[in-house]
Amino acid sequence: MTKTVRTLFLPTLAMGLFVFSIYHLLFAAEKLPKEDPLLEPPRQSFALGISGTGLVEARAENISLGTAVAGVVLEVCVTSDQLGQRVTAGTPLFRVDDRHLKAQLRTHHANLSLAEAQLERLEAMPRPEDVPPSEAKVKVAEANRTRLKDQLERGEQLLGKKMMVEEEFTSRRFTFLAADQQWQQAQAEDALLKAGSWKPDKTVARASVDAAKANVANLETEIDRCLVRAPVDGQILKIDVRPGEYVNAAAAKALILLGDLERLRVRVDIDEQDIARFKPTGRVTATPRGATGQLLNLKFVRVEPYVIPKKAFTGDNTERIDTRVLQVLYEIDDDQPGVYVGQQVDVSIEQNND
């Protein structure tokens, strides 16, 4: 009897449990309500089209401003309150410490003044006050020569009449020769004085002035490089520099980001596999991420002819790190509110059917 019960009961129990599990799976499981997605996924705008990811940028591209001179930032001329405001080309943005350069500039200005004064002194020679004494010295030497010449001629007559010893005559002759040389020396010195400065001395002085001017111009250029100005008209997009920070030319970050927001552009990455189907004249639309209902009309600007490695990834499983893309530039055809520089958009391009 026990064996019969065991033979019938265990299979019946197993079958009942199996039926219960099937029932539980089919009827007792809780049905979750169907929920709509939080964000509508992007949709292709054309029956045959190419999809790409675009990045909004300024009209003349985003200009990352840095510094050409390393140092501590003394002054930031624009504040965070001026973000988005338009500045004109040449507007000061920030200034790196240039106090040591200004001190050197004062020294070079002094050296320039000294070189110019030396050149002016050489070009002004001879001094008007030096000419009369020099001419008087020539006249005195000439008069002394004339007097001694007369004494020599008288002595020559007396020597012929045996009224003067030859020794005294010789003394008069040498005295005259010395006076004659003094007269010639006075004439030469007077001519040298009136000739003014030597031409090579003036050339050296002018070269010294030019060198001093070059040093001043070099320091002024270095000081001007310490002041970073807006290279073009545009809006301030980002300020990432503060007074007291140390900056240098090798910094990877953009200290100030500038761009022209009068007309925004979209830089689209087209996968290399879709390049053959791309047509620049095809229609194109874009939708911002999270706003699929907002349609942006784009106008073709140009194609960047160099295919580059892809840098912006969407997270799709089919994307590869070694993928290369063709960059195409479009301009947003109308003024669309809520579109910002740096924002990603999903782009649909009409496919080439040729």
Of all residues in the chain, the percent with pLDDT exceeding 90 is 27
Banded pLDDT at 317 (limits 50, 70, 90): very low
pLDDT of 190 > 90? The answer is no
Given a contact cutoff of 8 angstroms between Cβ atoms, the answer to whether 64 and 201 are in contact is no
Mean pLDDT of 177-191: 91
Residue-wise pLDDT for 220-239, tens only, equals 999 999 999 998 888 888 89
Q: Which of 160-174, 203-217, 241-255: highest mean pLDDT?
A: 203-217
Residue-wise pLDDT for 92-128, tens only, equals 999 999 999 999 999 999 999 999 999 999 888 888 8
Distance, CA of 208 to CA of 197 (rounded, Å): 16
pLDDT of 303 > 70? The answer is yes
Amino acid at residue number 306: Y
Banded pLDDT at 139 (limits 50, 70, 90): very high
pLDDT of 354 > 60? The answer is no
For residue 73, what pLDDT is reported? 93
Other Cβ atoms closer than 10 A to 215: 17
For residue 219, what pLDDT is reported? 94
- Nearest Cα to Cα of residue 341 among 245, 205, 238, 216: 238
Distance, CA of 57 to CA of 340 (rounded, Å): 8
Q: Over the chain, what is the mean pLDDT?
A: 83
Other Cβ atoms closer than 10 A to 288: 21
- Nearest Cα to Cα of residue 282 among 351, 337, 203, 214: 351
For residue 291, what pLDDT is reported? 75
pLDDT of 334 > 50? The answer is yes
For residue 38, what pLDDT is reported? 55
The residue with greater pLDDT, 15 or 336, is 15
Mean pLDDT of 297-315: 79
Q: How far is CA 33 from the centre of its chain?
A: 61
Enumerate the β-bridge partners of residue 327. Answer: 269
Mean pLDDT of 242-247: 91
Mean pLDDT of 27-46: 60
Banded pLDDT at 346 (limits 50, 70, 90): confident
**CA end-to-end span of the chain, whole Å?**
86
pLDDT of 48 > 80? The answer is no
Banded pLDDT at 262 (limits 50, 70, 90): confident
For residue 320, what pLDDT is reported? 53
Distance, CA of 268 to CA of 334 (rounded, Å): 18
For residue 312, what pLDDT is reported? 62
Banded pLDDT at 165 (limits 50, 70, 90): confident
Of all residues in the chain, the percent with pLDDT exceeding 70 is 85
- Nearest Cα to Cα of residue 123 among 180, 222, 195: 195
pLDDT of 77 > 50? The answer is yes
